[in-house]
Chains A and B, each alone.
Chain A
């Protein structure tokens, strides 16, 4: 059974703080996606990383794919209340079209 362990599960921080969310697996993924989900909505794709060691930046968000393509991290700099939501990582299994989702990280950024 492929698993994607995501941590932490919950994070409550003050506006302006930095944070990092981790996703780890023993499986190798062909790509990995990060999603953000707000209450009452479906997950929205933030980024896809494909190459081992790849780093992508989206404004204050930095995504990294591990060299072995088994793990990933999301770093948010100077968090804002608008960053509040459920962050999901999902690893893609090659040739199956299937995503393995992490358990999610609920982030609350207080003003």
Chain B
């Protein structure tokens, strides 16, 4: 079974530029999550989708971050414009099992200069 795919793996941009990340979840998983992770810390949830609907986006900085999951499968997360403090790893996870088990992709490491 293929895992969660993410691209790109690394991205370096300058502040005020825009960037987009892509995620393809495990086949059949209805729930998809985007997390932000600062080095050495636990992931922070940005947004949770159930199929193509948003379940929780309470911690998404909506003035600059947006996310969509139009067909209920893959998803994109966009930052526009980026700030220095957005430098982090952006993780995508999906879940389709009981007990809220989440399976993570490898992440995208974003550096904002």
Contact of A88 among B4, B42, B45, B107 (CB under 8 A): B42
Tell whether, in the assembled complex, residue B99 and residue A50 are in contact, meaning their CB atoms are under 8 Å apart.
yes
Tell whether, in the assembled complex, residue A97 and residue B95 are in contact, meaning their CB atoms are under 8 Å apart.
yes
Q: What's the minimum C-beta distance from A76 to chain B, rounded to whole angstroms?
A: 19
**B50 lies within 8 A of chain A by Cβ:** yes
Tell whether, in the assembled complex, residue B42 and residue A97 are in contact, meaning their CB atoms are under 8 Å apart.
no
**A63 lies within 8 A of chain B by Cβ:** no
- Given the known interface contacts A97-B50, A98-B45, the answer about A48 and B105 at a Cβ–Cβ threshold of 8 Å is no
A40 CA to B106 CA, complexed, in Å = 7
How many residues of chain A have a CB within 8 Å of chain B? 27
Q: List residues of A (79-94) whose CB comes within 8 Å of B's CBs.
A: 86, 88, 90, 92-93
Tell whether, in the assembled complex, residue A45 and residue B42 are in contact, meaning their CB atoms are under 8 Å apart.
no
Chain A residue at minimal CB-CB distance from B49: A97
Contact of B100 among A30, A41, A106 (CB under 8 A): A30
For A99, list chain B residues within 8 Å (CB). 45, 100, 102
Q: List residues of A (36-86) whose CB comes within 8 Å of B's CBs.
A: 40-45, 48, 50, 86
Interface membership of chain B positions 27-63, coded 1 if the CB is closer than 8 angstroms to chain A and 0 otherwise: 0000100000000111111001010000110000000
8 chain-A/chain-B pairs, Cβ below 8 angstroms: A31-B100, A33-B99, A42-B104, A48-B101, A86-B40, A97-B48, A99-B45, A101-B44
The 7 closest A-B pairs by CB, nearest first: A42-B104, A101-B42, A92-B100, A31-B99, A104-B42, A43-B104, A42-B107
B interface list, Cβ under 8 A from A? 4, 31, 40-45, 48, 50, 55-56, 91, 93, 95, 99-107, 109
